[in-house]
């Protein structure tokens, strides 16, 4: 039996265009049909926002509501945003994620630099807002703090509580985020080992 759809899988580390790099990946994914699926395996410390937006455009055009992202094992900066783009977002017990604001540089004549910086800030803030705040992953207050330098680090539990992760793979099966939170709540916390007190020897 021939399957009616393909499942494309892309591994994401440091993503930026190199020779025979992301552009060839994008070209290949553009061949997808409206029944195909995209899987993103993310273990990324970040990358260029421009390439991240290209992934977003591709998902909107070719894989709308048919994208699964795996946080295997970290997603920081643009890697975190890429994870959030997917419809289904799967983590592991020791996955972690970090949101922070973008980095940007510009050069040219004074007026041109200011115009470009203002334009870029407006565009990127709206892009970040739509991916993070509209989905309820950060509050408006947290988002404003992020824009002025606050980093937000999250472990598996926090990712589930905020709805950033929809599922967790653990112990050979896939749990929903709610199921996983119930599971870890029942688990006993490891007891702190008390160091033995050394008694002074009598002389």
- Taking the whole predicted model, whether its pTM rises above 0.75 is answered as yes
Residue 118: what pLDDT? 85
Answer yes or no: are the C-beta atoms of 99 and 80 closer than 8 Å: yes
Distance CA 132, CA 137 (A): 5
The angle that helices 49-62 and 78-85 make with each other, rounded to 10 degrees, is: 10
Reply yes or no on whether the pLDDT at 19 is more than 80.
Answer: no
Residue 121: what pLDDT? 87
pLDDT tens for 118-174 read 888 899 999 999 999 999 999 999 999 999 999 999 999 999 999 999 999 999 999
Distance CA 35, CA 66 (A): 8
Residue 18: what pLDDT? 59
5 or 55: which leads in pLDDT: 55
Express as a percent the part of the chain with pLDDT over 90.
69
Average pLDDT value for residue range 163-188: 96
Helix (H) or strand (E) holding 119: helix 110-132
| Banded model confidence at residue 193, pLDDT cuts 50, 70, 90 | low
Distance between the two ends of the chain, CA-based, in angstroms?
A: 86
Reply yes or no on whether the pLDDT at 9 is more than 80.
Answer: yes
Reply yes or no on whether the pLDDT at 203 is more than 50.
Answer: no
Domain boundaries, the chain: 7-100+151-186
DSSP E strand stretches across the chain:
7-12, 37-44, 67-76, 88-91, 96-99, 152-154, 167-170, 173-176
CATH superfamily of 7-100+151-186: 2-enoyl-CoA Hydratase; Chain A, domain 1 (3.90.226.10)
pLDDT tens for 21-78 read 678 889 999 999 999 999 999 999 998 888 899 999 999 999 999 999 999 999 999 9
| Banded model confidence at residue 83, pLDDT cuts 50, 70, 90 | very high
């Amino acid at each position: 039996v021939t399957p009616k759809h393909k499942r494309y899988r892309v591994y994401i580390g440091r993503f930026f265009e190199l020779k025979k790099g992301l552009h060839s990946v994008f070209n290949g994914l553009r061949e997808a049909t409206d029944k195909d699926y995209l899987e993103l395996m993310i273990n990324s410390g970040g990358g260029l926002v421009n390439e991240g937006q290209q992934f977003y455009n591709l998902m909107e055009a070719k894989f709308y509501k048919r994208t699964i992202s795996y946080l295997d094992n970290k997603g920081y900066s643009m890697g975190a945003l890429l994870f959030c783009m997917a419809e289904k977002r799967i983590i592991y017990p020791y996955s972690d994620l970090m949101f922070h604001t973008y980095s940007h540089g510009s050069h040219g004549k004074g007026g041109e630099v200011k115009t470009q910086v203002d334009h870029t800030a407006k565009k990127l803030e709206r892009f970040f807002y739509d991916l993070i705040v509209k989905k309820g992953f950060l509050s408006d207050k947290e988002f404003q703090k992020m824009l002025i330098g606050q980093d937000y680090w999250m472990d598996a539990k926090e990712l589930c509580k905020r709805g950033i992760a929809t599922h967790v793979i653990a112990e050979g099966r896939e749990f929903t985020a709610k199921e996983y939170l119930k599971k870890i709540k029942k688990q006993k916390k490891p007891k702190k080992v008390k160091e033995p007190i050394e008694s002074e020897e009598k002389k």
